[in-house]
Each structure stands twice: as structure tokens, then as C-alpha cells.
Amino acid sequence: MNHPQPLNPGMAPMAIPGHIDPVPVPRAFVARQDGRVDLLGLTKADLRMALETAQLEPKQAKLRAKQIFSWIYNRGVTEFALMTDIAKDMRGWLEQRFVVSRPEVVEAQVSNDGTRKWLLRSDDGQDYEMVFIPDADRGTLCVSSQVGCTLNCRFCYTGTMRLVRNLTPGEIVGQVMLARDALGEWPSQPEGRMLTNIVMMGMGEPLYNFDNVRDALKLVMDGDGLALSKRRITLSTSGVVPLMARAGEEIGVNLAVSLHAVTKEVRDEIVPLNRKYGLEELLQACADYPGANNARRITFEYVMLKNKNDSDDDARELVRLLKKYQLPAKVNLIPFNPWPGADYECSDPERIARFSDIVFKGGISAPVRTPRGRDIMAACGQLKSASEKKSRAELDRLAAEKQAALG
């Protein structure tokens, strides 16, 4: 069985980590069906290049790129007619050649607890989801990086999907833009925001879409645009060890690791990527992660599965492992969120409390995450764009295919 291709036809494969010569390479700007080029997801340099490609004189292109960047990412404007510091005839010229898009919203749901979930659709008809979780002191947007997922973590609904393709930088940053639209948070202001934090924890494995995730997050962090601090952005990985150091160096946001087990046997079962990059290798990569310290701790996600990974011995081993690698760590204990066809049950509340207590007494923060958005299937591990139901046999067959492809 062939491994599903994660990239759009015509796009270059993801670069192998290693030395890269800093030579600027012109981008191929792909026109939409209406012949216009979408500017969403482009950096200042890309905007300038797009304008020059459309035969705008270079000095003009540099000035207009700076103006357009601010209108798109700082003020959230999608119509050139509203870009009032640009001459009227130039606005008309831009309108003929370019567009500033948003993801198409197929469905928007609001949970009883205020959590919002959007089902989005791309130009090529692919569906993906994003979730906004409001709290008293923060508002967190859970952003997807892929349509489907290459991995098949057995407790995760998204993991039952095939990987269709990577999301583009525009589709990734577009989720943030759309949430800002919905919350009425334009222009960008550093104070008083409802959307204060971003977590790359939606559909997909972010490090298997490294370049696009990096480029999108650089736009989110740009001080002239969305201006969200890197301290307020967390990237979650299931443990793609070869790309973790590069993520720290090139993106520099907070790291979260989907750990979920402390023995090879159990983690091999529930996070099969562990068969490729084992626990010890993963924890060493965490110890080597650039910028991790007590002020910027690494978060370890740990889903609580009844009679699988929730014993007192598991809790003690978790403490031992994190201390062995001297990791500045925080553990998020996640009550398992059920979904159709799941093999597992959530640990009892008393068991979760006991597990948390053991880790706390070991000197490591271990709060229990309150499940949010369960009633609209927006909770952790529940995102899945397709509405079709698969039998247990189909899920097992798909999991076996993915594992074979991973090697």
C-alpha cells in the first residue's frame, strides 16, 4: 500500500534537516480559478515579489507590500477598496490581480461551555477544523496543520483519518484570521484580546508540515501584523525527534510533547511513532530543545486511559523519567474524550486525582485539564473533519497501513 502523499501536486517535498544555504528562491504564485493570486499567507518579501511579478516597479512594490501587509495582518482587511492609504487607481489594479481570502466556513458550532468549533473547507474541497477555548484569563485557539494525519495514535479520533495533504501557510494563518474576525479583534492590539494563545494541537502532526507551520507562525508573531508573542504559542508533537531541535531554532515557540505513556510496550501501542523514535530518544530531544528552561517549561500531554497508563507505578515512572533527563517540565493530565469506535475508556476521577497527586509530590506540576467542548466533539482527540463512521475492522486496517508506511 502506497503511503498517502502529504503535499499538493507540484509542491517540493519537505527539506531534509541539515545545512541549508540562505539563497532566496522566487516563489511560484499559483493563481486561483478566477485568475487572481491569494495574498493570505504571504510575508512582506513574498508580497513584494508578487507585486513585482505582476509588473509593478520594484520601488513601488516595496512600499505597497509594507502597506498591504499591515492592512492584511494588523487590521484584518480583506477588501482593497478599504486600504485608504493606497491611491484609488492602485486599489483597482490590485483588485483585478489579487485577493485576500478567508477559509470557507462549512459549519460553526458553540458548546454549552462556550467552546467554539469551526468546520472549514479549502478551495480544493478539503475539510479541516479549528477550535477556540475561552477561559477567564485567556482564550486559546487550537489550530490544525494538516487535513487528516499521518499518525494513528489509538486514542485519537483524528488518527483514524488518512492524511490528505498539508495545509498551506495561508490556510494555517487563515484560521487565526478567521477567529479574529469572529471575535471582532481588529486591528491587532496587545492588550484586552480574547484570543491570547495559540496551540498547534488541531488536526495533523505539525512537524510533518514543518516549513508551512514555521512560515505561518512567523506571520502570527510578526510585530507589524498579528503580533502574538512566541511565549503565547505552543507547538505540539507526537515525537518527530529529527525535527524538534530545528523547530526550537527556526520557530522558537513553546514545546508540548504527546507522551501518554512511560513504557515502551504501552507507548508503542497508543502512540505507534514510538516504534520509530523511542521514549529515551524523545526525552533526550526534549532535554536538547533550544530555549527550554524553568520559565519556559516543556509541557507533556498525558491522556488518562483506564487500566492502560494510569497506575501509581506509571505516575512514579513518569516522575523518574522527567527527573532523569532534568527536564523543566509540566504534565497536562487529559481525561480521555470518547469518540465512536474508540478502544479505550477514561480513567476514574479518583484515579486521575491520585495520579496527579503522585506527580505533584514528585515535584512536577500535573494539573488535570478540564474537558471542553465534548458536546460538539471539539475536545482533545475528537477533531475529525469527515462525518463517516468506520467499523473497528476498518480502523484497524487503516492503522496497520499507516504503521507500515512509517516503517
User: Could you tell me where the DSSP H helices lie in 325-373?
Assistant: 349-361
**Which DSSP symbol is given to 309?**
S
Using DSSP bridges, classify how beta strands 127-134 and 116-121 pair: parallel, antiparallel or unpaired: antiparallel
Contact 148, 127 (CB under 8 A): no
Whether 129 sits among the annotated catalytic residues: the reply is yes
Instruction: Provide the angle, in degrees to the nearest 10, between the axes of the packed helices 312-324 and 279-287.
Output: 50
**Predicted confidence band at 391 (pLDDT cuts at 50, 70, 90)?**
low
Give the separation between CA 256 and CA 237, rounded to whole angstroms. 6
pTM confidence score: 0.84
The answer to whether residue 56 scores a pLDDT higher than 60 is yes
Closest CA to 343 of 185, 160, 135: 160
Whether 380 sits among the annotated catalytic residues: the reply is yes
Across the range 349-359, mean pLDDT stands at: 96
Express each pLDDT in 111-140 by its tens digit: 888 899 999 998 888 899 999 999 888 999
Closest CA to 255 of 270, 238, 272: 238
**Predicted confidence band at 399 (pLDDT cuts at 50, 70, 90)?**
low
Q: Identify the active-site residue in 286, 350, 380, 394.
A: 380
Q: How many CB atoms within 10 Å of residue 127?
A: 19
The answer to whether residue 5 scores a pLDDT higher than 70 is no
Amino acid at 301: E
How is 123-173 classified by DSSP, letter by letter? TTS-EEEEEEEE-SS-EEEE---EES-S---TT-SGGGSPP-EEPPHHHHH
Across the range 381-398, mean pLDDT stands at: 50
Q: Identify the active-site residue in 129, 171, 205, 269.
A: 129
Across the range 32-51, mean pLDDT stands at: 93
How is 5-54 classified by DSSP, letter by letter? P-S-TTPPPPPPSS------------B-TTSPEE-TT--HHHHHHHHHHT
Across the range 160-186, mean pLDDT stands at: 92
